[in-house]
């Protein structure tokens, strides 16, 4: 009936009287919402080139607020004369994430695993060095001034990149029977980490971890939070990978054993590549969860995007624009999570069959 492929969904929506009725009802529900959104974002919005004073009389988005405060929302209180450092850090970490995501779906630069790992270590090291300064003639900047986007990326991407290898080790430790003690330790660790809310981990990282260190050593809140996030997420990655290991036919391990392969080779060359591939969809799921959870660090006093947005509308001159501030943050999370789930969908389509 509908020749064009693009119109095919429309044909389905009105195929039977019932589906037509449901489609119309859904439209009737959505249209007012869309109208409200359009009104707020466009029709009664104040554009960046208009005077900010107009915002008081208009009911729509106050774009002058966003234009005025965008630097503050993205980079917080990082010294303005050094602004290129958080900018480079953010671009670097975004580029690495996009590259790895595309690579997993077979479209990015075809790098080997070792190269990817090395590149990640380099990128993370460079990011920390850029943000902290004190090397290469860069002025030192205290970690309390690492705000907004770069700290969100450093903590989420850094925690995920470092928790993943830790998760592999944990999964292997739990899934072997040569050293039962190690298996039990790994199982205990995973169950504890998964049985405790992330907030507890954050508080432990911020308040208890420094007490456990030798006196006179200072650990920055950012480092303590990163450790807490790694410890927490490693357990989830371990369980994802263990699921992949369990999905493998027992014959794989037995065949490798029969060939006389040592354990390290069996795990590294036979089991893990297959297990990780099978577990990819759930790993991507954990990655998205971990990324979004990172905004919780605001409760331990790290000023990520949400916190800088709040700073932006705490300015006495701009106090009634909370919605605009949160909108910018929401938009960022929406776009980035959409990318991650796009990667996830592609993996779903291609991966497990191989």
Partner 1 sequence: MKFLFASLLLTTASLAAPAVQAGAALDDIKSGDALVCLVSPNAPGFSVPDSQGVFQGFNADFCRMAAAAVLGDAAKADIRGVGFSDSMKTLVARGGHLASRSITATGTRDADAGMAFIATTFFDGQGFMVPAALGVSAAADLQGATVCAEDGSTTLLTLADWFADRGMSYRVENIADKTARLEAFFSGKCDVYASDVTALNSDRMLAANPDDYVILPDVISAEPLTLVSQPDQELESAVFWAFQVMLNADKFGITSGTIDDVIADLDSQPQEVARLFAADGAGADMAAKLGLPADWAYQVVKQVGSYSEVFDRHLGMNSPFKLDRTKTLNASVEEGGLMYPYPIR
Minimal distance, residue 233 CB to partner 1, in Å: 23
How would DSSP label each residue in 278-328? HHHHHHHHHHHHHHHHGGGGGGGT---HHHHHHHHTTSGGGTT-HHHHHHH
- Catalog residues that contact partner 1 under the rule CB under 8 A: 68-69, 71-72, 75-80, 142, 144-145, 147, 206-207, 210-211, 215-216, 218, 221, 300-301, 303, 307, 310-311, 314-317, 319-320, 322
Minimal distance, residue 295 CB to partner 1, in Å: 13
Distance, CA of 259 to CA of 255 (rounded, Å) = 6
Distance, CA of 291 to CA of 156 (rounded, Å) = 5
H or E element, residue 344: helix 322-350
Minimal distance, residue 157 CB to partner 1, in Å: 23
Distance, CA of 191 to CA of 179 (rounded, Å) = 19
Distance, CA of 304 to CA of 144 (rounded, Å) = 11
Minimal distance, residue 289 CB to partner 1, in Å: 22
H or E element, residue 261: none
Q: Decide whether 174 or 303 has the Cβ nearer to partner 1.
A: 303
Q: Decide whether 191 or 315 has the Cβ nearer to partner 1.
A: 315
Tell me the two tokens of residue 89: 């850090």
Using only C-alpha atoms, what is the Rg of the chain? 24
Q: Decide whether 145 or 277 has the Cβ nearer to partner 1.
A: 145
Distance, CA of 284 to CA of 351 (rounded, Å) = 12
Q: How far is CA 310 from CA 73, 197, 321, 328, in A?
A: 8, 25, 10, 11
Block residue for tokens 């263990």: 242
Minimal distance, residue 215 CB to partner 1, in Å: 7
Minimal distance, residue 129 CB to partner 1, in Å: 21
Distance, CA of 214 to CA of 211 (rounded, Å) = 8
H or E element, residue 215: none
Q: Decide whether 89 or 351 has the Cβ nearer to partner 1.
A: 89
Q: Decide whether 133 or 243 has the Cβ nearer to partner 1.
A: 133
Q: Decide whether 134 or 188 has the Cβ nearer to partner 1.
A: 134
Q: Decide whether 68 or 293 has the Cβ nearer to partner 1.
A: 68
Minimal distance, residue 315 CB to partner 1, in Å: 5
**Would you say 294 and 155 are in contact if contact means Cβ atoms under 8 Å apart?**
yes
Q: Decide whether 147 or 346 has the Cβ nearer to partner 1.
A: 147
Minimal distance, residue 86 CB to partner 1, in Å: 11
State whether residue 62 is helix, strand or coil. Answer: strand
**Would you say 75 and 83 are in contact if contact means Cβ atoms under 8 Å apart?**
yes
Q: Decide whether 307 or 328 has the Cβ nearer to partner 1.
A: 307
| CB-count exposure of residue 110 (10 Å: 0-12, 13-18, 19+) | exposed
State whether residue 46 is helix, strand or coil. Answer: strand
Angle at 75 between CA 343 and CA 204, to 5 degrees: 75
Minimal distance, residue 210 CB to partner 1, in Å: 8
């Amino acid at each position: 009936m509908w020749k064009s492929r693009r119109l095919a969904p429309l044909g389905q929506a009105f195929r039977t009287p019932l589906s037509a009725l449901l489609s119309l009802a859904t439209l009737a529900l959505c249209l007012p919402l869309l109208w409200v959104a359009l009104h707020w974002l466009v029709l009664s919005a104040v554009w960046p080139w208009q005077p900010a004073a107009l915002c008081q009389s208009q009911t729509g988005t106050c774009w002058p607020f966003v234009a005025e405060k965008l630097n503050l929302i993205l980079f917080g209180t990082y010294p303005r004369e050094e602004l290129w450092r958080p900018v480079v850090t953010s671009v670097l970490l975004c580029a690495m994430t996009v590259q790895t995501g595309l690579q997993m779906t077979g479209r990015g630069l075809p790098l080997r695993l070792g190269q990817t790992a090395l590149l990640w270590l380099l990128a993370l090291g460079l990011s920390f060095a850029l943000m902290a300064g004190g090397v290469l003639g860069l002025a030192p900047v205290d970690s309390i001034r690492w705000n907004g986007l770069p700290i969100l990326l450093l903590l989420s991407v850094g925690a995920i990149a470092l928790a993943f290898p830790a998760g592999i080790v944990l999964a292997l430790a739990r899934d072997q029977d040569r050293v039962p003690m190690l298996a039990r330790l790994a199982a205990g660790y995973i169950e504890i980490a998964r049985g405790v809310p992330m907030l507890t981990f954050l508080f432990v990282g911020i308040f208890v971890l420094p007490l456990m260190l030798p006196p006179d050593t200072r650990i920055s809140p950012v480092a303590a939070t990163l450790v807490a996030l790694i410890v927490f997420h490693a357990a989830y990655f371990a369980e994802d990978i263990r699921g992949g290991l369990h999905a493998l036919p027992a014959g794989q391990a037995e065949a490798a054993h029969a060939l006389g392969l040592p354990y390290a080779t069996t795990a590294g060359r036979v089991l893990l590549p297959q297990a990780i591939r099978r577990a990819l969809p759930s790993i991507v799921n954990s990655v998205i969860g971990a990324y979004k959870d990172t905004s919780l660090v605001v409760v331990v006093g790290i000023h990520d995007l949400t916190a800088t947005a709040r700073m932006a509308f705490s300015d006495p001159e701009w106090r009634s624009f909370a919605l605009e501030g949160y909108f910018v943050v929401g938009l960022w999370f929406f776009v980035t999570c959409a990318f991650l789930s796009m990667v996830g969908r592609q993996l779903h389509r291609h991966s497990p069959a191989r």
